Chain A
Amino acid sequence: KAGVTQTPRYLIKTRGQQVTLSCSPISGHRSVSWYQQTPGQGLQFLFEYFSETQRNKGNFPGRFSGRQFSNSRSEMNVSTLELGDSALYLCASSPPDSEAFFGQGTRLTVV
């Protein structure tokens, strides 16, 4: 069974630009969560999608958004990028009420 796949692995963007990250969950998993991880920090929860609906949301500004498609694939978008948005963005998928399986992450650098 293929794991969680995130694309791209690495990305460099300029301040003010916007970016879209993609996540393909494990087949059969309907829940997809996104996290931001910065150096020295723990995982900061961004949002969770289940059956194309945002089910939970963390404390991030509206510049951070996401969506989920009918095949459970998910995208997250960050608009008007700031230097502080540089981070590892992790996607995790899970079956109901079970541990999450993480992708390798997308390393975003904003310059």
Chain B
Amino acid sequence: GESVGLHLPTLSVQEGDNSIINCAYSNSASDYFIWYKQESGKGPQFIIDIRSNMDKRQGQRVTVLLNKTVKHLSLQIAATQPGDSAVYFCAEILRSSMDSNYQLIWGAGTKLIIKP
């Protein structure tokens, strides 16, 4: 069935280095993708989104890249800081072909660990 998955469940990065978190999706009809960050004891928080008519979008220290050819999404965090330690989820919006309904499909999450 349709799914969104993450390549690496845990990623360890040296403080100050760049982090790259990857995500694969299988629904080629999806046109909207979101990255969320979930810190311990908190609900997920929106980081950045991208629509399928774009291949790159930049925020503050974060960049999302979308490769529709291979159905791959990545989140790049520049100059990783201790506060970036969290679980990162990618999600796609899956639209119904029959009506206006939609659903968020979530990946399993990648835990980002920052080494001092």
Interface residues of A (CB under 8 A from B): 4, 33, 35, 41-43, 45, 48, 55-56, 90, 92, 97, 99-105
Nearest CB on A from B81, distance (A): 22
Docked pose: A107 CA to B45 CA in angstroms: 18
Can you name 8 extra interface pairs (CB under 8 A) apart from A45-B103, A90-B43, A102-B45? A42-B89, A42-B108, A43-B44, A90-B44, A92-B43, A99-B34, A102-B43, A105-B42
Nearest CB on B from A60, distance (A): 14
Helix, strand, loop or mixed for chain B's interface? strand
Helix, strand, loop or mixed for chain A's interface? strand
Residue of B nearest to A37 (CB): B38
Nearest CB on A from B100, distance (A): 8
CB neighbours (8 Å) of A56 from chain B are 101, 103
Q: Establish whether residues A104 and B42, one from each chain, have CB atoms under 8 Å apart when the complex forms.
A: yes
Closest 3 interchain pairs by CB?
A: A102-B43, A42-B108, A43-B106
Residue of B nearest to A44 (CB): B106
